[in-house]
Structure 1
Amino acid sequence: MSFVGHQPPPIFKRGLAPLARLFMFVALCLVLLVADLRFRYLEVVRNGLSVITYPLQMAASTPADVVRNAARYFGTLIDVQLENAELRRHQLDVGERLLRFDHLERENAELRGLLEMSQRIAVRSVAADILYNAPDPFARKVILDRGAQQGVEPGLAVVDAQGVIGQVTRVHPIQSEVTLLTDRRQSIPVSVVRNGVRGVLYGTGRGSLEMRHVLADVDIQPGDQLVTSGLDGVYVPGLPVAKVLSVNREADAFARIDCEPLAAIERSVQVLVVGRAAYPPPPPASEPEGRR
C-alpha cells in the first residue's frame, strides 16, 4: 500500500480556526485568573515583575515629572517675586509712615516745649520756623520764616524749648536773620542761678560758649546753670542759657570758664522770638564841649 502522493487533511495543514483559537485562549485566561484568585500563586511573579519594571517606569515617567516640576518651579518663582515686590512696597510705605510719625512726634514735643516756654515768659512772643542756615561760612546764622510783618524786631531774643539760641540781627518783611549764641561775635549777659554772680558769655565759633572777664576767685563751679541777667534790656531775665563745664583759675587773673549751651542751637526747628519786657532808656546825650 503506497502513501505516495497522499495529502494530509486540511485541518492539520491550516491549524485551528482563529475563532476556536480565541475561545481557547479566553478559557485559559479565565482558568488562570480563577486559580490565581483561589491560590495566589502568581503573587511572587507579579512582585518580581514590578521590581524588574520599576526602573523602566521611572525612566518613562521622568520627562513628564521634569516638565511638571519645572512648570511648578517657575510658577512658584513668579509668585514669590510678585510677593516680594509687594512686601517691599509695603515695607517702604510702613517705613515712610514711621519716619513721618517720628518727625511729627518730635515736632509735637518741640511745640509742647515752646508752649511751656511761652507760658513762663510774661511777654509777647512770636512762633517761627528755622528755614535754613545763612549762606555765610564764617558766621553761625539762621533764617526764620517770620519778619517785620509779624512783629519781629532787631535785637530780640530767640529761644527754643530748652533755652536761648540767639538774637535777631537783621529783619526783612517776611523773614529775619538770627545770629546764634555760638557765633564768635555774639555775646549775652548772664547770671549764675546758684548765687547770682553776673558775667558775659561769648561764642567761640566752635559750638561752645566761654564766660570771660570773671576774676579767678569768683564762686563759679562746674555744673552751675546760667540764665539771662536782663541787664542789657534786650533779653528777658531768667531765660536758660548754658551750663558751666569747666573752670580754670590758674591761667591768669581771670578764670577761664567753658560752658555748654542748654538749647539745641544747631538742631532746633521751631523757635520763639521773645519780645522785650520794656524798652531800655535812651543813652544819655553828650554834653556840649563848652559846658565841660
Structure 2
Amino acid sequence: MNFSNTPSFISHGPRPGLRLTLAVAASVALLVGDARLGLMGPAREALSVALYPLQWLVNAPISAAQHASEFFVDQARLKQENAALKTRELQLSAKLAELTTVKNELAELKAMHALRSQRAEKSVLAEVLYTGRDPFSYKLIIDKGQNAGLVEGQPVVGDSGLIGQVTRVQPLTAEVTLVINKGQMVPVMVERTGVRAILYGYGGGVELRYLPVHADLKAGDTLVTSGIDGVYPAGLPVSRVTHVERRAGAAFLSASSLPVDGVYRQRFVLALETGANRPPVTQPQP
C-alpha cells in the first residue's frame, strides 16, 4: 500500500481562522476556570516541583558567589572590629591602672595628712623619687632637701611607722637610710610590756640582739621607738615580732622581727623635725 500520496491531517485540518478561534476559546476557558475554580493550581505546583532542580542549578553559582563575597567582607569587618576592641581594651587598662595608682596615692596622702595632724612635731611632706643605686644599701631619695629645711639626723616616717633617717642632704633632695640597712640601730621597746632593746638592721631586715632570755617577749608584740636616744620620738611603730626562741643555756633569746610595711612600699614620707641638729646614726662601713 502506498502512503506517499496520502494527505496529512494538518494539511486537511481546520482553517487557520477556526484554529485561532479554538485556541482563544480554550485560553479564555482556562483563564476563567483557573480564576474561578483554580483548575491550573495543581498543574503549576507540579511544574514548579519539576523545574526546581533546574532553578537551583541555575542559581547555585550566583548564590555561591554572593556567600563567598559576604564571607570575606564579614571576615574583614570582624578583624577591624577585633583590632578596635583590643586597642580600646588596652586604653581602658592603661586608664584603669592610672586611676588605681592615683587612688592609692590619694589614700596614702590622706593617711600622711592624718598622721601629720596627730604628731606634735613639725614635719615636712616629701615624695620618694627613687631608691639608691646600690642594691645592698637600702636607701631612698626624696624630693625635699635644704630648700625645705631638712637636716641630717631627722627621722623619717610613713603611714605605718618609722622607716628610716635622713643621712645626707642636698640642695633639692635628701637621702634616707632605711632601718633595714646594715648597721642601722634603733632604740625600741616592747609596746605591751615596756621592755627596752636595740633593733639592728642587717641588710634587708631587722633583728633584736642581746635581749635577756627571761625578757617578756612573744610573737605578735609590736616594737616601738623608746625615745631615749633623743633622735627618734617615742611611740613610733618599727617592727613586729614574728618568732621567739629561748634556748637552754643561752644568755640571750633569739627573736625574728619584720619591719613595718611602709619600708618597702612607701611613696610619700614625713621628715620629722624632732631629730634636727642631732647627729645621724653612723654610716656603716662597706
TM-score range, shorter chain: 0.7 to 0.9
Q: What is the rounded CA distance, in whole Å, between the counterparts of 1:26 and 1:148 in structure 2?
A: 118
Q: What is the rounded CA distance, in whole Å, between the counterparts of 2:116 and 2:33 in structure 1?
A: 108
Partner of 1:69 in structure 2?
67
Q: In the alignment, which of 150, 170, 173 is matched to residue 171 of structure 2?
A: 173
Distance 1:277 1:199, change over 3 A: same
Partner of 2:127 in structure 1?
129
Kept in 2: contact 1:241–1:263 (CA 8 A): no
Partner of 2:42 in structure 1?
44
Kept in 2: contact 1:194–1:224 (CA 8 A): yes
Kept in 1: contact 2:225–2:237 (CA 8 A): yes
Distance 1:149 1:12, change over 3 A: closer
Secondary structure of residue in 2 paired with 1:119 = helix
Q: What is the rounded CA distance, in whole Å, between the counterparts of 1:76 and 1:278 in structure 2?
A: 72
Bigger relative contact order, structure 1 or 2 (CA pairs below 8 A, ≥6 apart): 2
Distance 1:46 1:256, change over 3 A: same
Kept in 2: contact 1:233–1:278 (CA 8 A): no
Distance 1:23 1:68, change over 3 A: farther
Could you report, residue by residue, the CA deviation over 1:146-189 in whole angstroms, capped at 9, with x for unpaired residues? 11111111111111100111111111111111111111211111
Structure 1 gaps, min length 5: 1-7, 282-292
1:227 maps to a residue whose letter is V
Secondary structure of residue in 1 paired with 2:218 = coil
TM-score by length of 2: 0.84
TM-score by length of 1: 0.82
Partner of 1:215 in structure 2?
212
Partner of 2:28 in structure 1?
30
2:45 maps to a residue whose letter is N
Partner of 1:236 in structure 2?
233
Give the superposed CA RMSD. 2.6
1:178 maps to a residue whose letter is V
Distance 1:137 1:164, change over 3 A: same
Partner of 1:270 in structure 2?
268
Could you report, residue by residue, the CA deviation over 1:53-104 in whole angstroms, capped at 9, with x for unpaired residues? 1111111122222233333333333433333333333322322222122111
Kept in 2: contact 1:221–1:244 (CA 8 A): yes
1:92 maps to a residue whose letter is L
| Aligned residue-pair number | 270
What is the Cα deviation at residue 40 of structure 1?
4.1
Q: What is the rounded CA distance, in whole Å, between the counterparts of 1:15 and 1:230 in structure 2?
A: 138
Summarize the alignment of residues 66-215 of structure 1 with structure 2, pairs less than 5 Å apart: 66-206=64-204, 208-215=205-212
Partner of 1:286 in structure 2?
none
What is the Cα deviation at residue 16 of structure 1?
5.2
Q: What is the rounded CA distance, in whole Å, between the counterparts of 1:274 and 1:86 in structure 2?
A: 51
What is the Cα deviation at residue 279 of structure 1?
5.2
2:258 maps to a residue whose letter is E
Structure 2 gaps, min length 5: 1-6, 280-286
Distance 1:278 1:230, change over 3 A: farther
Q: What is the rounded CA distance, in whole Å, between the counterparts of 1:152 and 1:165 in structure 2?
A: 16
**Structure whose CA Rg is larger:** 1
Kept in 1: contact 2:154–2:275 (CA 8 A): no
Kept in 1: contact 2:200–2:209 (CA 8 A): yes
Secondary structure of residue in 2 paired with 1:47 = helix
What is the Cα deviation at residue 280 of structure 1?
5.6
